[in-house]
A and B are shown apart, each in its own frame.
Chain A
């Protein structure tokens, strides 16, 4: 399968500052989350992929096309919502999205623009000047213009900024629906990792201008999440002592008033726990594996790669 986005040894220097230091990235279709700390190089990567910034070195391709040389062809098939988007305030919302649809060569640009504006909840504001929009409405307009014209790939930089909680949930649902039913691919750059978990199939972790890790969410959980159990008993102190002696257990500790056990072998531990509890005469009230979040995986990747959380 050919990659949707391919970056090889991508370098970008702004004067003496090196924003990207040989970034390698290989992304297929679907929903990808781009995560990393501030100044990691996420936005620079997006700008290079859009042909807004020219790479100082390396190679980047979208749809197999060079992002600088064939930038026009790439942008015909791509939509984007920039971080803190700004649109001309003297223009009406509908006019603006219609104009972008025309640039993409959409037939029936007005209808397409109206549909997208409706889809993102701006049906009552299409004839209002953008300058009169609230921050949340500007964000919705940005989403509408990113998707108008049947974009095959959409870059979204902090897409839920300024959206209210219901708006966020609605937006995430729409993205998931479009990815699954329309086959649109999205690249989402955000710091809100819980949102990525709800939408994305895969994640790329960027740090210091390089890609530390990339892969499917399930794959990353398998590789980085630890086998930790939460145990609630009638006597945590005694149980902690007993579990600490088991070969299937690596570590036992108390976190937020609850007993946690990191195990070496799941099956072995589950058998051992019952035996130990029975032997000590301790009642086990609750016993379940700890669900790891993407945030946990992200921190773990930084830790494993030696760049610190």
Chain B
């Protein structure tokens, strides 16, 4: 009963940002409209699915994948706000002290905080992405979502990316106990390596999203072409390493929160 009340409470708290959610929706929609103009970045390979009817469906697919970086930015912004406000801000304001004075287990509070950031972020993001596709061309979008591998691709892509971002953001919020430090630190950790990879010639870090998720999406969308360009190790790096980084950070912050986290 207590855990259910806690879960309901946390989810309700996180969906109190309708403006943010609307902005994410608009950002995703605009990024897809812009991408349809034809200057997408990243993948250039044709999807195997282009052999299926409706060229528009293929265009949506390709351009949404090509905009992985925009989608990634929307993800880190949204989830980092959730973690900073839902965890660090609540510690600063004293709400966590009041919550932990009630019969709530620390491990439950941590897991619920992480799960609410992760699942709310995932839901908003998936909703925005699929809505944008439907608004752009609903018959093609219907065709895409009714084709299981496509759904799987979107789902895994979002899952890996969201888990990475939610893991880093939650850990930063717990360790820093400060809204500003948590927000800036999370964005720094998640975006600086990407920026460096883009600006320093020859430096390649495929294991950091969004490059990793783009590679992964490429694998799912066009596996035959993928194997001609990359190997299994690259694919493993693309998927396992972000998940591993997020898992290690989450575990460390979980141990800290449940054993050493003083609420003064």
CB-based contact A52/B97 at 8 Å = yes
Q: Report yes or no: A105 in contact with B1, Cβ–Cβ below 8 A.
A: yes
Q: Flag B113-150 by CB within 8 Å of A: 1 or 0 each.
A: 00000000000000000000000000000000000000
Question: Contact between A103 and B102 (Cβ–Cβ < 8 Å)?
Answer: yes
A110 part of interface (Cβ distance < 8 Å): no
Question: Roughly how many angstroms separate A51 CA and B261 CA in the complex, as a whole number?
Answer: 10
B-facing residues in A71-123 (Cβ within 8 Å)? 72, 75-76, 78, 80, 82, 84-88, 90, 99-100, 102-105
- Tell me, yes or no, whether B204 is within 8 Å of chain A by CB: no
Contact B263 A103 (CB under 8 A): no
Contact of B263 among A14, A47, A100 (CB under 8 A): A47
CA distance A86 to B264 in the complex (A): 14
> Size of chain A's interface in residues, with CB distance under 8 A?
25
- Assuming the contacts A85-B94, A86-B94, asked whether A102 and B1 have C-beta atoms less than 8 A apart, the reply is yes
Kindly list chain A residues whose C-beta atoms are within 8 Å of the C-beta of B155.
none
A260 to B197, CA, bound (A): 85
* Contact B262–A103 (Cβ < 8 Å): no
Given A52-B262, A53-B262, A54-B262: A99 and B9 within 8 A (CB)?
yes
Give the distance in Å from the alpha carbon of A42 to the alpha carbon of B144 in the complex. 63
> Closest residue to B13 on the A side, CB-wise?
A88
Smallest CB separation, A108 vs chain B (Å): 12
Which residues of chain B are near A85, meaning CB under 8 Å?
94, 98
Q: Is A187 on the interface with B (CB-CB < 8 A)?
A: no
The yes or no answer to B224 lying at the interface (CB within 8 A) is no
- Shortest distance between the CB of B103 and any CB in chain A (Å): 4
Q: A52-B101, A82-B98, A90-B16 are in contact. List 13 more A-B contacts (CB 8 A).
A: A47-B263, A47-B264, A51-B100, A52-B97, A52-B100, A52-B263, A53-B263, A82-B97, A99-B9, A103-B5, A103-B6, A104-B103, A105-B103
B residues apposed to A, CB below 8 Å? 1-2, 5-6, 9, 13, 16, 93-95, 97-98, 100-105, 259-260, 262-264
